[in-house]
Structure 1
């Protein structure tokens, strides 16, 4: 049986540990060179396959690939590009198969969230029909932690750690100034429909009165009156109030507080600005001086404070993806399984892409406190292990020493270019 090459692509918003997944995948493929050929990476994700812009990772040294494990961002480039519905227009999927066939690619590893798992599943189905079967393995990644089946998503644990650290440190700052200055601080975090990241801020509060005093979840309808009352009570009781607010906070009718009036390429409402909105609301109603911040890309790129558990998870799903493919598995995704017991431990399982695709896992309601503004002990027990451990990158001249790849392209073999 001829040895086939592999194609790997990074999709959607990157994380502090997505390159650790790439490292695990490429190193495992290299360790099985007698069964799998070169690993080509898509330049800017799936767009690289459509445009036949393939990066030859075999030209990178073992040391460089190893350094991916501690480097944030997407080393090969990612993208927010959703393939069209296959029933309406399957030309894009056919193009993928043509490129794969031209470069003798028999394995497709797609590292992303729900939309990416849907794409991998569709490619596995269409490739069979086109007579050039591709082994397709979805590889989980999303800071939102909203993929089903897996206990958690690689990328989330490090964001959770960053948010908890940030609100604890900012809380100490505000507490030291609240007697004569700022009394309210609002930190806006990611999370469109699922409040996992916002919940992680709750880890910072280990004792009564410690921040955050208020958490705004997408799962709990925003009530202006109740919110302002909670803020006012916190300021009067503790001298200050720290708030962690999910960008996906919404009213009872489903409107986002921070609806910018535009949509992204996936058709999702463009969000951003919930922090200044809440801060101004507090200023107008209560008169308190405030500051606000948006963690934005900082939360997902902060490799310097990554969770060691998250790094291990990320590497493991990349390694397992190759092992699954070589074991003959297809249209599946490696998942993280939390083992029973008082001490945290985990293993790798699998889930079918047909059931993972386009699904969204929200926060269980029992993870949110009765008043809707905090987390429960059960939620804390779930979150805490995911933030454990430190895995610092090497430093040079006082700054993290991250790697940059050559990203040399493979020569194109098809006569025609593809218009997106």
Structure 2
């Protein structure tokens, strides 16, 4: 009997190392070609399966697949698409079965965050309920670091390294000019409900009084007067103030400081604009000259400053996903377990998808200072190992080299088109 093919797809916001997980999946599958046929990648996530837009990775040579480890973005395209429950929309699941059967797919690997693991879990349940044999394994990824059961999430360590570095470098710039120019600098970072990325900015401040002087976490309700008092005191004490603010900063009643637009398909509000909102508060109440910046996509695409630890873990979860599937496992996700922080040691374990899906891991209260504006020693000890090591990409003519995939689509075998 010929080996079954595998389906791999990327979902949600991408990271600097998500393609390393893709390389882990594809290279491990190729090492087991007697048991896994071709890895077919969904063009733009799960919608690629629904539309039968399947990329044949066999058209990519080994060097190109290896180059994915130093290529940011989503090599096969990502999406934000939520499968409804099978009882609400059986049509989508029947379509998936049709596509999987038509292309002899027996393995399903979905690379994403909490909502994506919900999709992976639903597909695993669909397989059982509809009698189609498929091994479904989630592959963790999220810059927000908010998946449960795993010590950290692949993608987070590199964002943390970027934000800590940016905070350090920007603070030196502001400090050098604070006598006659900018007094307050505000950096807005990602993090909807969990402040892990904002906390990473705190790694820049190793000495008493060093920046950042204020960190705004989603876990702590925002209090305008307390914030302004902290900023004012920092300027008086140090001559300047650097603020790192999570985009998910919110008031005690749950309102976000700045909600930028409509909600996505997962029901999440589009966030953005916390930095200028805080800057206006500072200007109106304190009168200090200020500047602000939004890290936005730069923080999650900065492969040139990726963490070596993060890169290794991203590859490891992709590799483990294939190995779990070859063991006949279904409905699980590889996770990272910390053995020790100093020296940092970790290993791969597993967690059930039904418990991972739609869960968020927020920062423990003991990771933030009593005033809610800084990180503790415990938090620093947790974060520092995750940003260790430099994984510089190869360069050509002064710019990073990246993988250029053919993304050759297989011929469609189903007559009826499908619109998700």
TM range (shorter): over 0.9
Partner of 1:226: 226
Shift of 1:261: 4.7
- Measured after TM superposition, the shift of residue 341 of structure 1 is 6.0
Residue 347 of structure 1 aligns to a residue whose secondary structure is strand
Aligned-partner Cα distance in 2 for 1:59–1:141: 25
- TM-score normalised by length of structure 1: 0.99
CA contact (8 A) 1:113 1:147 kept: yes
Shift of 1:84: 2.0
Stretch deviating more after TM superposition (276-285 or 92-101): 92-101
Q: Is the 8 A contact 1:216 1:245 kept in 2?
A: yes
Matches within 5 A, 1:71-90: 71-90=71-90
- Alpha-carbon separation, structure 2, partners of 1:78 and 1:270: 18
Tell me how far apart the structure 2 counterparts of residues 116 and 91 of structure 1 sit (CA, whole Å): 19
Quick check: 1:201–1:212 contact (8 Å CA) kept in 2?
Answer: yes
Aligned equivalents of 2:187, 2:327: Cα separation in 1: 45
Once the 2 structures are TM-superposed, how far is the Cα of residue 83 of structure 1 from its aligned partner? 1.4
Structure 1 match to 2:280: 280
1:265-322 per-position Cα deviation (integer Å, ceiling 9, x unaligned)? 2111111000000001000000000000000000000000000000000000000000
User: Which string of whole-angstrom CA distances, capped at 9 and with x for unpartnered residues, describes residues 12-36 of structure 1?
Assistant: 0000000000001100000000111
Alpha-carbon distance in 2 for matches of 1:72, 1:126: 32
Structure 1 stretch displaced more, 390-399 or 341-350: 341-350
Q: For 2:179 and 2:287, locate their aligned partners in 1 and report how far apart those are by CA, in whole Å.
A: 15
CA RMSD after TM alignment:
0.8
Q: Retained in 2: the 8 A contact 1:123–1:134?
A: no
The residue number in structure 2 matching 1:257 is: 257
Q: Which residue of structure 2 lines up, in the alignment, with residue 34 of structure 1?
A: 34
Distance apart, 1:215 and its partner CA: 0.2
In the TM superposition, what whole-angstrom CA distance separates every residue of 1:192-232 from its partner, at most 9, and x where no partner exists?
Answer: 00000000000000001211000000000000000000000
Contact 1:138/1:332, CA 8 A, preserved across alignment: yes
Query: C-alpha offsets along residues 171-195 of structure 1, whole Å, 9 cap, x if unaligned?
Result: 0000000000000000000000000
Task: Provide the C-alpha distance between the structure 2 equivalents of 1:241 and 1:85, rounded to a whole number of angstroms.
Answer: 48
Kindly report which structure 2 residues correspond to 1:52-131, keeping only aligned pairs within 5 A, or say none. 52-131=52-131
2:159 is equivalent to residue 159 of structure 1:
yes
1:179 maps to 179
Report SS of the residue matched to 2:88: coil
Count of aligned positions = 420
Listed as ranges, the matches of 1:13-412 within 5 Å are 13-340=13-340, 342-412=342-412
Which structure 1 segments of 5+ residues have no match?
none
Q: Secondary structure at the match of 2:259?
A: coil
The whole-number CA distance in structure 1 between the counterparts of 2:341 and 2:171 is 34
> Residues of 2 paired with 1:65 and 1:391: CA distance?
17
Deviations 1:63-88, CA, capped at 9 Å, x for gaps: 00000001000000001111123221
Question: Counterparts of 1:326 and 1:146 in 2: how far apart (Å)?
Answer: 28
Please give the alpha-carbon distance, in whole angstroms, between the structure 2 residues aligned to 1:223 and 1:6. Answer: 50
Note closer, same or farther for the CA distance 1:341–1:386 as it changes in structure 2 (3 Å cut): closer
Query: In structure 2, what is the Cα distance between the partners aligned to 1:150 and 1:162?
Result: 21
Contact preservation (8 Å) 1:124, 1:133: no
Quote the Cα distance in structure 1 between the aligned partners of 2:87 and 2:298. Answer: 38
Cα shift at 1:340: 3.2
Measured after TM superposition, the shift of residue 92 of structure 1 is: 1.1
CA distance in 1 between partners of 2:122 and 2:187 (Å): 39
Does the 8 Å contact 2:86/2:126 carry over to 1? no
SS in 1 for 2:254: coil
Task: Give the SS at the match of 2:149.
Answer: coil
Q: Deviations over 1:40-84 (max 9, x none)?
A: 000011110000000000110000000000100000000111112
* Separation (CA, whole Å) in 1 of partners of 2:61 and 2:2: 25
Contact 2:145 2:153 in 1 (8 A): yes
Q: Which runs of 5+ in 2 are unaligned?
A: none
Residues 341 and 154 (structure 1), Cα distance of their counterparts in 2 relative to 1, 3 Å cut: closer
1:8 alignment counterpart: 8
Shift of 1:134: 1.2
Whole-Å separation in 2 of the counterparts to 1:341 and 1:114:
25
Cα contact 2:4–2:105 (8 A) shared by 1: yes
Q: Structure 2: how far apart are the matches of 1:258 and 1:333?
A: 34
2:59 & 2:341 partners in 1: Cα distance?
A: 44
